[in-house]
Chain A
């Protein structure tokens, strides 16, 4: 489902935005720095602090996200469904390393701790 052309939009080069929904049907739109490519049918979000999005997902697993390819400003929209969380493994390490690298350079080690890598199933992605 995710194609090669989508990949440049999934490197955290340009922010992504995601909307989730509460049990009462109230939307929450917010911006995140990166949506990570996992495989053709899955993406991941880094879970650092418990926030509204996380809370919403725990009651309603669906979300809508937009990613941008910075080279041509093309936008792609994804329908997502929360699948599972990972606290170790390749994906977690990759996320963690990136976080730690930047945090350590700015003296922010300890402020940013990766709690988990949240994996979502891609229900659709528009071309």
Chain B
């Protein structure tokens, strides 16, 4: 080779090298530009703009494959009159569709001639056969494109989309262009993949945040619901409380008393009371007035019972059944004393109520009869599985009831068993023996007079008992002192003779 052609060759190579270097610089520039952003749209439009600016590729577009890998959607275009964003190409249709399907690049140099060739053939096909054919497809891009280079954008051999460059000129793209567009397609693929991953990341973050706030909301709702339910339960239990004696109620709700059919036998002090003459009142009074009286009476009595620690068993109309010793007990003696003390206070209260009712126009005074007995009873939940009654049964209960019927109005009558427990604290007078069904022996009864200390200070009451002699003197109740003195004188005379 002579010097001249050597020089030419050298010049050519230098030109090629310069061009390649320039291309490399530009590619680097474009690459850094698009990698700065994580916005998919920005990446695409920046790339296409750069391709025109630096390499003169006037018409270009980037399409992304959809999730189902069935079609490509136009992401960005450059140079076209109509932007065509969102237009789609089915995989396998047209240059872009085929490139996507086969994941191989394609360069077309004379699309016009190819199209007319196919059309010429198509025009010869018989109408029947024509029906079997597909329709001509409207594809995004230049209507009269002659040259086209379409390159698949791959990431880890997965198709992301297609980069397509078109021209109205025939055979305008050469090998060099092909290579260049290929490199740029790779750059775009990488940048898009990064952006996609970032977007996914953001989406996940958002989803996570949403899930978290949903959870928070749910939690709050649950808390609210729990509060509401608790309030409902409290209301309910408060309503129920009215049907139970406080001790029983407390025991049930504290869990000490298990709500099932279970009973036990233990010594209890049982209190019975009713109002003498109440039945007549029910016939005479208006129902509203009757209810008012009864409610007031029972409320006052209940308060006193609760105060002394008694378990209110039940109200039956004007009758009241209270017992001491279950569910809580302070000991037989203390329970008995408490019961009798309660009875004393009840009578005092009733006195006040009598005055109150008389002022209201109820002339007939209401008097209580009270009977108390201490003995072993069976106590617990009785009834069916669904409906339980916390109550007492047994002979002890019958005895208390029987004693009550023998009591004087506004008097407290005790059995001997109770008397023996309280006699140190409360003064009583011996009364008659009574027969009680189910009890083999007649029961000795005692009438409560008052508290011991009260008695010792109050000299108006004398209560002395020895075998054969029972002396009961209550000065406050003596209407005529002289009659009483004469009676004692007569008794004294018979003793001295």
A residues with a Cβ closer than 8 A to B are 8, 11-13, 33, 70-71, 93-94, 97-98, 100-112
Stretch binding the partner chain, chosen from B135-143, B188-196, B265-273, B281-289 = B135-143
Bound state CA distance, A12 and B137, in angstroms? 23
19 A-B pairs in the complex with CB atoms less than 8 angstroms apart = A12-B110, A13-B113, A33-B113, A97-B98, A97-B104, A98-B114, A101-B98, A101-B108, A103-B118, A104-B97, A105-B94, A105-B95, A105-B118, A105-B137, A105-B139, A106-B122, A107-B135, A107-B137, A109-B134
For the complex, is B441 an interface residue (Cβ under 8 Å from A)? no
Contact A70:B171 (CB < 8 A) given known A104-B92, A107-B137: yes
Bound state CA distance, A104 and B91, in angstroms? 10
Cβ–Cβ < 8 Å partners of B94 in chain A: 101, 104-105
Bound state CA distance, A100 and B93, in angstroms? 8
Cβ–Cβ < 8 Å partners of B122 in chain A: 106-108
Bound state CA distance, A36 and B397, in angstroms? 120
Main secondary structure of the interface of A (DSSP, over half): mixed
A101-B95, A107-B137, A111-B133 given. 10 additional CB < 8 A pairs?
A70-B171, A71-B171, A102-B115, A104-B92, A105-B93, A106-B119, A108-B118, A108-B133, A111-B121, A111-B125
For the complex, is B109 an interface residue (Cβ under 8 Å from A)? yes
Q: What does the 1/0 interface line of B93-107 toward A look like (CB < 8 Å)?
A: 111011100101010
Bound state CA distance, A94 and B95, in angstroms? 12
Cβ–Cβ < 8 Å partners of A98 in chain B: 106, 108, 114
Contact A13:B171 (CB < 8 A) given known A33-B117, A93-B102, A108-B121: yes
Residue on A nearest B139 in the bound complex, by CB: A105
Cβ–Cβ < 8 Å partners of A109 in chain B: 134
Residue on A nearest B170 in the bound complex, by CB: A13
Bound state CA distance, A104 and B119, in angstroms? 12
For the complex, is B3 an interface residue (Cβ under 8 Å from A)? no
For the complex, is B4 an interface residue (Cβ under 8 Å from A)? no
Cβ–Cβ < 8 Å partners of B113 in chain A: 12-13, 33
Q: What does the 1/0 interface line of B291-312 toward A look like (CB < 8 Å)?
A: 0000000000000000000000
Could you tell me if B98 and A8 are in contact, using CB atoms closer than 8 angstroms?
A: no
Bound state CA distance, A109 and B115, in angstroms? 13
Could you tell me if B102 and A11 are in contact, using CB atoms closer than 8 angstroms?
A: no
Cβ–Cβ < 8 Å partners of A93 in chain B: 102, 104
Find the residue from A101, A108, A109 having the highest chain B CB count within 10 A.
A101
Chain B nearest CB, measured from A126 CB (Å): 23
Bound state CA distance, A103 and B117, in angstroms? 10
